[in-house]
Structure 1
Amino acid sequence: MATKQNTVTVDRISAESTFGIDWAEEVRELAHQRNAVILAHNYQLPEIQDVAHHVGDSLGLSRIAAATDADEVIFCGVHFMAETAKILSPDKRVFIPDANAGCSLADTINADQLREWKAEHPGAIVVSYVNTTAEVKALTDVCCTSSNAADVVRSIDPNREILFLPDQFLGAHVRRVTGRDNIHVWLGECHVHADISPRDLVDTVRANEGAELFVHPECGCTTTALWMAESGEIPGETTQILSTGGMLEAAKKTTSERVLVATEIGMLHQLRKANPATEFMPVNPQAACPYMQMITPEKLLDCLRYGRDEVFVDEEIAAVARSAVERMIPIGNPGGGE
């Protein structure tokens, strides 16, 4: 069973595993035996997405995990996502098929760095994107997703300073749409989204006149997209800054022949399934997250067979982090996730 990633598509795995039985059938049977629910992030390999019980953004999947009556959660994503599932499902066993699947964005700030930043701005409110570790969430006043980040900021006393972390592009977007100038933004980034550059956007948009444009606010090209829309170079009504969940909802509704998508290319699989009549094209075909691709069909099978890579979060840290996550849920629309 081998997967081969190219710039746009992912080849299908062989229908037969080395054990002579259908891989997907074995995965589902093992999950049934363990009373496990398989969750897959939108950026996972198509094979993983197709075998999962639920596909979505990390917060949405974590909330599904908390609501399910499964004993175990198999989280196919990156490590902070499995941590969030454990935080919201403390009584369930949570596994990730490869514990080394990290996140370049979450790694841009740790608990010690946040403590130092808070000490520099006493009294400031800490707003953390859910793409952070449990330890960072535990030092946070309220979490946010890309869908409700602006609403979370608007809910805070306008006279209070805000420390927004860790993504500088999402932070800049929130500062822009809220008009607040007392937001300090941590200079972190997802290296995959940051590499979807203004040049990528300009070249792709100009080569596909009339196409709609979906841009994730973590992308390095977000400001350029808004500038092109405001200047009239591309129609403002067909340019949208969206979370992954927002992209999926917009994909279901669009009647356009072609939509350009600025985010990690694993998202294209769900968009194409949601609307086969529309062509979804990546702004940067190379935007594949190596950490997401660490979760392979072989590792998922091994995780189910042997219970490998269980995720643990210190109970005291989890309790405080849970409060920060729960505070954001009534605000705006956090369900659209990251």
Structure 2
Amino acid sequence: MTEGIKSNVQKLKAQKNAIILAHYYQRPEVQDIADVVGDSYYLSKVAKDCSQDIIVFCGVKFMAESAKILSPDKRVLLPAIDAGCPMAEMADAESVKAMRDKHPESKVVCYINSTAEVKAVSDVCCTSSNALKIIMGMDEEEIIFLPDKNLGNYMQKKLPHKKIILWDGFCITHKKVMPREITTAKELHPGIKVLAHPECEEEVLDLADFIGSTGEIINFATVNDNEKYLIVTEQGVLHELQKKNPGKKFYTPYGSMTCINMKKTRLEDVYDSLVNMRHEITIETEIRDRAYKALMNMHILGR
């Protein structure tokens, strides 16, 4: 049955001039059927530059919204329309405006894990892979960073000459990881390298050998010659890691780290979305135009 769905999706994709994009956190079978698999920054770049008429985004809502913002003339489909991001919902446009009023000399740097409305009241977006470069390249000494306080705090430690005003948001998947899980893994597997995403709590990051985005974690493990790695991010990334590194061993804290929203997309949803053009993303023109500037500033400053 799975092979039949895959075959039908491939046919539909060709007929409708569609491209399928999938985040590293998606189910393995969804990653396998995608034309492009990547982290948030890379997928946003592909969405901006691709020539296809239809983008099927296998991810969560803020990712599909970003694709629509960057490519307004394309039809963007989100196969699992209820795949949201709790972190993104922790910030709203009115609260961001109020924060700006309190800090009029600041610029707002908005993590891509945010709603279109929040992007629209921000100056520039960023991802975990380019946040450091973007903030370093800004003239302002005071930065409002939202919604992820852990990534913002990590940037503050890297850039002590800047004043970074943190939002009280977080990723519910990364927040669950406790320092004792890292120390236990090190005791069980002597010599293991700990690779962590900056959305983790500071106490966890302090125990890591490497901190980076999903794409950066994959690259590190691929070029490094260690045999064992503790991967402290959503377990979907293990699929790509194991494909690239069949001779290495990968573990996650307590055996798994799962984002339930990233796992909502099934092959059946991809097929249904394509065949019926279901769950199309729409954004009000005024919001899209303002959010577009913030996303384009990311691509300009993040080069």
Into which bin does the TM-score normalised by the smaller protein fall? over 0.9
User: Match of 1:122, SS?
Assistant: coil
Alignment deviations for residues 37-88 of structure 1 (CA, whole Å, 9 cap, x no partner): 0011100000100011110112311221222221100000000000000011
Q: Which ranges in structure 1 are unaligned for 5 or more consecutive residues?
A: 1-15, 230-238, 334-338
| Pair 1:100 & 2:82 matched | yes
1:13-52 correspondence runs (5 A): 16-17=1-2, 22-52=4-34
1:273 to 232, 237, 243: 243
More displaced stretch, 247-256 vs 131-140? 247-256
The alignment of Structure 1 onto Structure 2 pairs a total of residues equal to: 303
The C-alpha deviation readout for 1:240-279, integer Å capped at 9, x for no partner, is: 1010110121122122111110000111111111111111
Distance 1:280 1:214 in 2: 10
- Aligned partner of 1:125 in structure 2 is 107
Residue 225 of structure 1: how far off its partner (Å): 3.7
3-state DSSP class of the match of 2:301? coil
Q: Aligned equivalents of 1:51 and 1:122: distance in 2?
A: 47
Match of 2:211 in 1: 241
Matches of 2:18 and 2:82, distance apart in 1: 21
CA displacement 1:125-154 (0-9 Å, x = unmatched): 101111111111111111111122122222
Alpha-carbon deviations, 1:88-129, whole Å to 9, x = none? Answer: 111100000021110011011011111121122222110111
The aligned amino acid for 1:240 is F
Alpha-carbon distance between aligned partners in 2 of 1:93 and 1:296, rounded to the nearest angstrom:
20
Question: Counterpart in 2 of 1:326?
Answer: 296
Deviation at 1:292, TM superposition (A): 0.8
Q: CA deviation at 1:223?
A: 3.5
Identity among equivalent positions (%) equals 40
Shift, 1:181, TM fit: 5.6
Q: Which residue of 2 aligns with 1:250?
A: 220
Give the residue type in structure 1 aligned to 2:147. P
Secondary structure at 2:274's aligned position in 1?
A: helix
| Counterpart residue number, 1:10 | none
Q: 2:178 aligns with which of 173, 179, 197?
A: 197
Does residue 293 of structure 1 match 2:263? yes
Provide TM-score, normalisation by structure 1: 0.86
Match of 2:123 among 141, 161, 170: 141
For structure 2, list consecutive stretches of 5 or more residues without a partner in the other structure.
none
In 2, distance between residues paired with 1:66 and 1:224? 34
Taking the aligned partners of 1:329 and 1:67, their CA distance within structure 2 comes to 12
Shift of 1:219: 1.1
Answering whether residue 126 of structure 2 is matched by residue 156 of structure 1, we say: no
Shift of the alpha carbon at 1:284?
4.0
The match for 2:42 is 60
**Does 2:153 match 1:172?**
yes
- How far is 1:189 from its partner? 0.4
Amino acid aligned to 2:191: G
2:186, 2:232 → 1: CA distance?
11
Give the aligned CA root-mean-square deviation in angstroms: 1.6
| Paired amino acid for 2:137 | S
TM-score (norm 2): 0.95
Q: CA deviation at 1:206?
A: 2.2
Distance, in Å, in 1 between the alignment partners of 2:212 and 2:226 is 17
The residue type equivalent to 2:64 in the other structure is: A
Task: Name the CA distance, whole Å, in 2 between partners of 1:332 and 1:176.
Answer: 20
Alignment check: 8 A CA contact 1:197 1:219 kept: no
Q: Which amino acid aligns with 2:239?
A: H
Match of 2:272 among 264, 282, 302: 302
Q: Distance in 1 between matches of 2:149 and 2:47?
A: 29
- Between 1:271-280 and 1:147-156, the stretch displaced more is 147-156
Query: Which deviates more from structure 2 when the two are superposed, residues 80-89 or residues 269-278?
Result: 269-278
The SS at the match of 2:210 is strand
* Alignment partners' CA distance in 2, 1:272 and 1:254: 14
The one-letter code matched in structure 2 to 1:76 is C
What's the CA shift for 1:161? 2.0
